Amino acid sequence: MKVFMLGWEFPPFISGGLGTACYGLTKAMDQLGVEVIFCLPQGVDDRYTTHVKLLTPQSQAQAQVKSPTSQLKNITFRRISSPLQPYSTSGSYQQQRIEQLIREKQIKAGGPGPESVAGFDYGGDMYAEVHRYAAIAAELAQTEHFDIVHAHDWMTYPAGIAAAAICRKPLVVHIHSTEFDRSGENVNQMIYDIERRGLHAADKVIAVSYFTRNIVISRYGVAGEKVEVVHNGVEKNGNGDWPLAKTGIDKNERIVLFLGRITMQKGPEYFLRAAKKVLEVMDNVKFVMAGSGDLIYRSVEMAAELGIGHKVLFTGFLQGEDVQRIYKMADLYVMPSVSEPFGIAPLEALNNDVPVIISKQSGVSEVLMHALKVDFWDVDEIANKIVAVLKYPPLRLTLRDYGNYEVRKLRWTDTAQKCLRIYEDMMVPV
């Protein structure tokens, strides 16, 4: 089985769970002997791809670079230059940033010139950029032999449709997050339209949870029999270490962690309101918010307005070993997401022996039994559960030990095997 896969990020350059999921899935597929051609925007530096075989398109020619320490023998990468980020929001900031990057690239290159491919200009808007990517991906697909097209999230759907159509291959679209998750009811119509077209054009849809499957069916009008649920996995990682003296945290203080994009979807305001209530009954607690997003400045202001600014630390975006270090420091991880299609971070926390409190409005709540679950809006209950975990060691140990045991059963190999079965079913003549 050979798969032409389309995605928008890959470690070490990731902005959320999509990159982690793509890495875990492709690594597991490699172990199963599935060949994957992974087409992604330029963003993976050769210095960081010692574990993969890398193919880079250069003026329609292909230069192959293979590391002597390659571990992913069946994974081939193709890079397409693009400024888009996988977790674009409906706000104007992302649009302006994309346009700025595009202008910078055009000025450096002396104008659009060679960046215009198949009639699509490297234009100043998101819509043009998504379709430019689709044009290049379709051209690349014609140079490869594969059995199926697998596209991850909305920005790759036009590319997946084009590649599948031009090569006459089945199309699988994998939905990790919907526009309703990211933007609530204030959806970006363009993104919604692209998502809907991709979901309807696909031969099969893979949703990361039943929570997401229900949204796909009810909000996008996709037939239920077309949508399969394949939960994400988690990869076992070692712990790092950060000296507490460098963080401003006293060794006797408990640490409650929020790790994720600081956006409406992730519920940072509910985390802070719960923190305020916890600090009314416990003083030896610090709340750490690790991540970046369009609400980070508002969150800093909100912490100050609540009078808890001295008890809340903002680390900015973390990746790699820094993520492992912050998990090792934490006594509890809280995910108060308003709408979370899955949520890999709680699995990573449990994998690092950190008990978790998670939103009931999340896909990961379907697979975790040994986690405390709350409605995202119920800050009183979030606070009560935080206090309970921090004050009662038997509860904390039970959540940690049983949760860790539970998460060991959620492996990317199982996720890859389920995807492979879907591929195989699609290849059987009807």
- The closest of 196, 200, 243, 238 to 219, measured between CA atoms, is 196
Q: What is the mean pLDDT of the chain?
A: 82
pLDDT of 44 reads 54
pLDDT of 135 reads 86
Hey, what CATH topology would domain 244-407 get?
Answer: Rossmann fold (3.40.50)
8 A C-beta contact, residue 90 and residue 188:
yes
How far apart, in whole angstroms, are the C-alpha atoms of residue 270 and residue 362? 15
Cβ-based burial of 170 (10 A; exposed 0-12, middle 13-18, buried ≥19): middle
pLDDT of 46 reads 52
Cα 348 to Cα 116, 160, 251, 366, 372: the distances in Å are 41, 30, 23, 16, 16
The answer on pLDDT for 52 being more than 70 is no
Adjacency order of strands within the sheet including 2-6: 61-66, 52-58, 72-80, 35-41, 2-6, 148-152, 171-175, 204-207, 227-229
235-273 as b/e, with b when 16 or more CB fall inside 10 Å?
Answer: eeeeebeeeeeebebeeebbbbbbbbbbbbbbbbbbbbb
pLDDT of 251 reads 66
- Mean pLDDT check: name the lowest of 5-19, 85-99, 362-376, 409-423: 85-99
How far apart, in whole angstroms, are the C-alpha atoms of residue 175 and residue 341? 9
Whole-angstrom Cα Rg for the chain: 22
**Which of the listed ranges 53-67, 94-108, 260-274 does the model predict with the highest average pLDDT?**
260-274
Give the pLDDT band (50/70/90) at residue 178: very high
The answer on pLDDT for 250 being more than 70 is no
The answer on pLDDT for 96 being more than 80 is no
Mean pLDDT for 342-351 is 94
The answer on pLDDT for 3 being more than 60 is yes
pLDDT of 157 reads 95
Token readout for 382 is: 């979030």
How far apart, in whole angstroms, are the C-alpha atoms of residue 430 and residue 427? 9
270 versus 112: the higher-pLDDT residue is 270
Indicate the pairing of strand 61-66 with strand 52-58. Answer: antiparallel
CATH code of the domain occupying 2-233+412-427: 3.40.50.2000
**What percentage of residues in the chain have a pLDDT greater than 90?**
63
The answer on pLDDT for 114 being more than 60 is no
8 A C-beta contact, residue 129 and residue 194:
no
The answer on pLDDT for 328 being more than 70 is yes
pLDDT digits (tens, 9 = 90+) for 196-217: 999 999 999 999 999 999 999 9
Q: What is the 3-state secondary structure (H, E, C) of the chain?
A: CEEEEECCCECCECCCHHHHHHHHHHHHHHHCCCEEEEEEECCCCHHHCCCEEEEEEECCEEEEEECCCCCEEEEEEEEECCCCCCCCCCCHHHHHHHHHHHHHHHHHHCCCHHHCECCECCCCCHHHHHHHHHHHHHHHHCCCCCCEEEEECHHHHHHHHHHHHHHCCCEEEEECCCHHHHHCCCCCHHHHHHHHHHHHHCCEEEECCHHHHHHHHHHHCCCHHHEEECCCCCCCCCCCCCCHHHCCCCCCCEEEEEECCCCHHHCHHHHHHHHHHHHCCCCCEEEEEECCCCCHHHHHHHHHHCCCHHHEEEEECCCCHHHHHHHHHCCEEEECCCCECCCCHHHHHHHCCCCEEEECCECHHHCCCCCEEECCCCHHHHHHHHHHHHHCHHHHHHHHHHHHHHHCCCCHHHHHHHHHHHHHHHHCCC
Residue 268's contacts (CB-CB under 8 Å, 6 or more residues apart) are 258, 262, 289, 293, 295, 299, 336
pLDDT of 192 reads 95
**Which of the listed ranges 66-70, 137-141, 145-149, 240-244 does the model predict with the highest average pLDDT?**
145-149
Domain range summary for the chain, segments of one domain joined by +: 2-233+412-427, 244-407
pLDDT of 244 reads 47
pLDDT of 430 reads 55
pLDDT of 116 reads 33
Same fold, 2-233+412-427 and 244-407: yes
**What percentage of residues in the chain have a pLDDT greater than 70?**
76
